[in-house]
Amino acid sequence: SQQGEEDPQALSIQEGENATMNCSYKTSINNLQWYRQNSGRGLVHLILIRSNEREKHSGRLRVTLDTSKKSSSLLITASRAADTASYFCATLYSGNTPLVFGKGTRLSVIA
């Protein structure tokens, strides 16, 4: 399976702290995307990072990509209770395969 792996599976932090989630993948990629899913809702796209990029920012979100280690991380700074959700990485591998989603990290931010 080419499914990526998020780490940790679950993370619980206090409001105001930073949250870091990691994603490892298997082979060379075209891009890697991060999505958020609130309970009972659809997925919402956060950031797309291409294989030739190393870092991207969006508001309180920072995504890094290390192609030598085949890994990516999502950092949420100054977390809020509203950030409580599951976070998924999705990898588009080189070749003809579709986007592959990982199993997600469940983040709980406690007020």
Compute the least distance from the CB of residue 72 to other proteins, in Å. 15
Cis amide prior to 8 (ω within 30 degrees):
yes
Single out the residue of 48, 56, 60, 61 in contact with other proteins (rule: CB under 8 A): 48
**What are residue 81's phi and psi, to 5 degrees?**
-55, -35
Binding status of residue 31 toward other proteins by CB under 8 A: yes
Q: Which of 8, 17, 44, 58 touches other proteins (CB under 8 A)? A: 44
**What count of other Cβ atoms lies within 10 Å of the Cβ of residue 97?**
12
62 CB-contact burial (10 Å; exposed 0-12 / middle 13-18 / buried 19+)? middle
Interacting residues with other proteins (CB under 8 A): 3, 30-31, 33, 35, 37, 40-45, 48, 86, 88, 90, 92, 96-99, 101, 103-104
